[in-house]
């Protein structure tokens, strides 16, 4: 029992463009007397990257991250539909070389929820397997093999391998909790808000509570309705998110009885709860 939070697998070397180790954040925190472990210097990243590294079951080609959940999707563009068969053939041959068995391969136009300007056609490979060890090199090869044809056709595209049954798909639902749980949440609210204001000046937007569950979970499945503290920040906000989570988790843990579970999540501002 206690604080539940998904763990990050942050890797600076493979996603360096999302980092900002020279961020003014350090001087701001120093002036506020907030201690930062020097080992965290490489840990400044965008919130989108930080959350992407928490989901091992969605993998994009090197240097890129999958479109954050929740996302919008529709049929691929007309240009891509014209050469979709070529893309699918390349993907199929590549996956075979890596001994990856796809359940489905298709091309979608994907964008951040409510932000059509972020849309790109995406080769999506669905895989019903938990062994992700070969996913990244396979995604890289698919991308590099299709890039010449896509460039010739004037298409910008992405590649994503995913396990649709295991990937993160949490959404908000009404809290179905006892009065005791609601009282605990209300008691910690001002403490969390104060800490968020201290750690994330200029980048936080809201602090709230919700029940969260995977999208395919029945609405009245109370067992999956874990109360969650939701901190919404600006899109692209940069911070040492691991440290921010640690400090917020400490407040939650100190405010929560040992018999109660409460989770924490920090999400970008285009997040839509349902």
Going by C-alpha positions, the residue among 85, 123, 117 that lies closest to residue 102 is 123
Q: How do 226-233 and 261-268 pair as beta strands?
A: parallel
- Find the distance separating the first CA and the last CA of the chain, reported in whole Å: 27
**Average pLDDT for 174-183:** 83
Q: Provide φ and ψ at 205, rounded to 5°.
A: -120, -50
Residue 43 placed within a domain:
yes
Cβ atoms of 105 and 88 within 8 Å: the answer is yes
**Is the per-residue pLDDT at 176 higher than 70?**
yes
**Average pLDDT for 85-102:** 98
Identify whether residues 29 and 94 lie together within a single domain: no
Instruction: Enter the pTM of the model.
Output: 0.84
CA–CA distance, 65 with 49 (Å, rounded to integer): 7
**Average pLDDT for 113-131:** 95
Residues of the chain with pLDDT > 90, as a percent, come to 68
Q: Provide φ and ψ at 266, rounded to 5°.
A: -115, 125
Q: What is the CATH number of the domain that holds 93?
A: 3.30.300
Q: What is the pLDDT of residue 259?
A: 86
- The mean predicted confidence, pLDDT, of the chain is 86
CA–CA distance, 83 with 134 (Å, rounded to integer): 26
Residue 273 placed within a domain:
no
**Is the per-residue pLDDT at 199 higher than 60?**
yes
* Residue finishing a domain among 135, 162, 189: 162
Residues of the chain with pLDDT > 70, as a percent, come to 83
Q: Read off the DSSP letter of residue 19.
A: B
Q: Alpha helix locations (H) across the chain?
A: 25-31, 47-52, 78-97, 135-153, 179-199, 241-255
Identify whether residues 75 and 8 lie together within a single domain: no
Identify whether residues 111 and 188 lie together within a single domain: no
More confident residue, 67 or 25: 67
Identify whether residues 92 and 121 lie together within a single domain: yes
Identify whether residues 28 and 153 lie together within a single domain: no
Going by C-alpha positions, the residue among 258, 163, 176, 245 that lies closest to residue 209 is 176
Count the alpha carbons within 13 Å of 70 in the hemisphere toward its beta carbon: 13
**Is the per-residue pLDDT at 15 higher than 60?**
no
Q: Provide φ and ψ at 175, rounded to 5°.
A: -65, 125
> Residues for the chain: how many in total?
274
For residue 27 the two structure tokens come to 């001087």
Cβ atoms of 266 and 242 within 8 Å: the answer is no
Q: What is the pLDDT of residue 27?
A: 43
For residue 183 the two structure tokens come to 């009282």
Q: What is the pLDDT of residue 174?
A: 78
**Average pLDDT for 212-233:** 82
> Domain residues for 132?
58-162
**Is the per-residue pLDDT at 224 higher than 70?**
no
Residue 206 placed within a domain:
yes
Residue 40 placed within a domain:
yes
* pLDDT-derived band at 110, boundaries 50, 70, 90: very high
Cβ atoms of 2 and 256 within 8 Å: the answer is yes
Number of domains in the chain: 2
**Average pLDDT for 244-258:** 94
CA–CA distance, 264 with 231 (Å, rounded to integer): 8
**Average pLDDT for 251-266:** 92
**Average pLDDT for 25-52:** 63
Cα→Cα distances 176→9, 65, 112, 218, 225, Å = 31, 33, 29, 13, 7
Q: What is the pLDDT of residue 41?
A: 46
Q: How many helices (H) and strands (E) does the chain have?
A: 6, 12
């Amino acid at each position: 029992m206690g604080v539940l939070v998904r763990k990050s697998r942050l890797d600076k070397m493979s996603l360096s463009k999302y980092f900002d180790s020279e961020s003014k954040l350090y001087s701001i925190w120093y002036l506020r007397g907030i201690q930062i472990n020097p080992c965290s210097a490489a840990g400044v990243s965008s919130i989108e990257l930080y959350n992407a590294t928490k989901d091992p079951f969605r993998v994009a080609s090197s240097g890129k991250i999958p479109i954050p959940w929740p996302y919008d999707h529709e049929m691929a563009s007309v240009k891509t539909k014209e050469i979709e068969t070529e893309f699918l053939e390349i993907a199929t041959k590549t996956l075979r070389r890596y001994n990856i068995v796809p359940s489905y391969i298709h091309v979608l136009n994907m964008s951040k929820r409510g932000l059509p300007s972020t849309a790109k056609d995406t080769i999506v490979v669905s895989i019903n397997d938990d062994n992700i060890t070969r996913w990244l090199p396979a995604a890289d090869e698919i991308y590099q093999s299709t890039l010449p044809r896509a460039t010739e056709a004037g298409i910008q595209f992405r590649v994503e391998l995913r396990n649709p049954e295991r990937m993160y798909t949490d959404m908000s639902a009404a809290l179905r909790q006892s009065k005791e749980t609601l009282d605990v949440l209300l008691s910690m609210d001002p403490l969390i808000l104060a800490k968020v204001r201290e750690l994330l000046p200029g980048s936080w937007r809201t602090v709230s509570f919700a029940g969260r569950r995977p999208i395919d979970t029945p609405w009245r499945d109370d067992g999956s309705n874990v109360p969650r503290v939701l901190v919404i920040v600006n899109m692209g906000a940069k911070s040492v998110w691991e440290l921010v989570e640690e400090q917020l988790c400490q407040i939650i843990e100190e405010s929560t009885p040992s018999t109660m579970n409460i989770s924490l999540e920090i999400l970008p501002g285009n997040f839509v709860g349902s």
